[in-house]
Structure 1
């Protein structure tokens, strides 16, 4: 297949590109800066989101599109940062849909990046793809608007999947290195109440799920990209301590995290139990359904 990826130079985008090429696919990465391209076999770079860019002709014949473009949610959530988090996703998705509309042959599927933040947070509810949000905090509002923008693809007869990504465990970046740091310094312990749910997923399963969503014609609509066994933060932290052989003893109270991170602290202090029902119903087999097994593979 010929697969186009926006956000293909990011952590997930790069690993997804490598996986798809290994599977025999050709990948086209849409990027603002083609000068940063890497010379890889079966990987092409196309400029977009710049005034003089004209990507339509170069995207004819694309079979599938994965949309991962958007400002990183990491960093203090100032008013400007929050505006960029939302506007970057809506701008990229709107432009992507405009490009697709001008293609003579439309792609068969759009897998649009989203996040488990769609569901809000809850210590008691369990969410599947059929559930509505418990509340609408900032990230919930962002993901709902992002999915609504992407839903225009369905009007073009394109199978559309909303990939609601959980907390990605990856030794190369994302949340995990930040979670490991206190334990490396022998200062790890309970974070907040420790009762908040962590709906996590190993990077390898995440990448395989994206590929699964592209190839499985029966999948459409929301798809939870999380492992089937979420855990409480306290359990995840104790597992990190066990795998690393470090003590779990110095707590990080909620007020200290809120003071340090501001509103972004919700990523750490609030959680939800997200179950990947549709992936399991359609026969996807997780390689890492236990956090200890996942951490051992990543760290050892």
Structure 2
């Protein structure tokens, strides 16, 4: 019988790609959903409701592995006090619910894998290359990721192997980050944000899904791993490269920081700052990135 992988956030951008990767690798997949969905030959659905603190415990009890992807989008809405709370709770509360089922039923998983973010190193622009040993920053992004990972570590306290994937900007076909940018750039209005010197650590969706697959299959993996290429891409380089694919050179002036701050509020720091993060740790496990050239990656994503 195929081992079962339970996904939170399984209907999102990453979750949909990862479902295909897992099934192709021979696993059965279960997905936690807020709405009623009919099971398919490929996927079993279970109900949960974070706001009502409800989870079908059978989803957890039938799982061999759990991959936690759920969470409100960081740059979907302005960072009001209410929005900040929702961003954190949408990441932490699901883990707490899963932990409760595991503990109350003495259930042991083969592994628990949680998404996290490069944002743990903070909303700064620095030439420093951050590693997994770098202490979390004390700003909103840093605190959010720290709480996210601390919740995952609680699963680890049950003697379950726990892996945390600190993800950069995810690039994929017609989805995620590029889905929002492509119409603007395709129309010839691509622009550099702020100084353009902020780094943009990125990863192709296929590489990211392979890291998740390796996280459940390689029992040596434990703890935090940065999931991004270390190619020193800045916002300016990214924007110029993307515009080039649509056969033009960026002519729109750089969007000044004050304009973005007015438009986005505090959330503007998420696009006006950016750090470099080392991928050395995951590569030392034997993982090889298939997408390391920015231009070729962007071509793959839009053509």
TM-score, reference length from structure 2: 0.92
1:260 alignment partner, one of 258, 263, 268? 263
Equivalent residue, structure 1, for 2:293: 290
8 A Cα contact 1:200 1:227, kept in partner? yes
Equivalent residue, structure 1, for 2:204: 202
Query: In the superposition, relative to structure 1, how do residues 262 and 47 fare at CA in structure 2: closer, same or farther (>3 Å)?
Result: same
8 A Cα contact 2:53 2:97, kept in partner? no
TM-superposed deviation, 1:54: 5.7
Matched residue count: 297
Map 1:99-114 → 2, pairs under 5 A: 99-114=101-116
Equivalent residue, structure 1, for 2:189: 187
Q: Work out the CA distance in 1 between the residues paired with 2:55 and 2:272.
A: 43
3-state SS in 1 of match to 2:245: helix
Structure 1, 59-68 or 78-87: larger mean CA deviation: 59-68
* Unpaired runs of at least 5, structure 1: none
Map 1:74-223 → 2, pairs under 5 A: 74-120=76-122, 121-133=124-136, 135-223=137-225
Structure 1, 159-168 or 47-56: larger mean CA deviation: 47-56
8 A Cα contact 1:49 1:92, kept in partner? no
8 A Cα contact 1:6 1:67, kept in partner? yes
TM-superposed deviation, 1:136: 2.1
Query: In the superposition, relative to structure 1, how do residues 23 and 148 fare at CA in structure 2: closer, same or farther (>3 Å)?
Result: same
TM-superposed deviation, 1:281: 0.3
Q: Work out the CA distance in 2 between the residues paired with 1:54 and 1:270.
A: 37
3-state SS in 2 of match to 1:228: coil
1:276 alignment partner, one of 270, 276, 279? 279
Query: In the superposition, relative to structure 1, how do residues 52 and 282 fare at CA in structure 2: closer, same or farther (>3 Å)?
Result: closer
8 A Cα contact 2:261 2:268, kept in partner? yes
Equivalent residue, structure 1, for 2:58: 57
| RMSD of Structure 2 on Structure 1 (CA) | 1.8
Task: Spell out, residue by residue over 1:262-295, the C-alpha distance to the aligned partner (whole angstroms, 9 max, x if none).
Answer: 1111221110001112210001111101111110
Q: Work out the CA distance in 2 between the residues paired with 1:103 and 1:19.
A: 30
3-state SS in 2 of match to 1:198: coil
TM-score, reference length from structure 1: 0.93
8 A Cα contact 2:201 2:233, kept in partner? yes
Q: Work out the CA distance in 1 between the residues paired with 2:257 and 2:53.
A: 48
3-state SS in 2 of match to 1:91: helix
Q: Work out the CA distance in 2 between the residues paired with 1:197 and 1:52.
A: 38
Q: Work out the CA distance in 1 between the residues paired with 2:106 and 2:172.
A: 39
Query: In the superposition, relative to structure 1, how do residues 29 and 184 fare at CA in structure 2: closer, same or farther (>3 Å)?
Result: same
* Unpaired runs of at least 5, structure 2: none
8 A Cα contact 1:243 1:296, kept in partner? yes
3-state SS in 2 of match to 1:193: coil
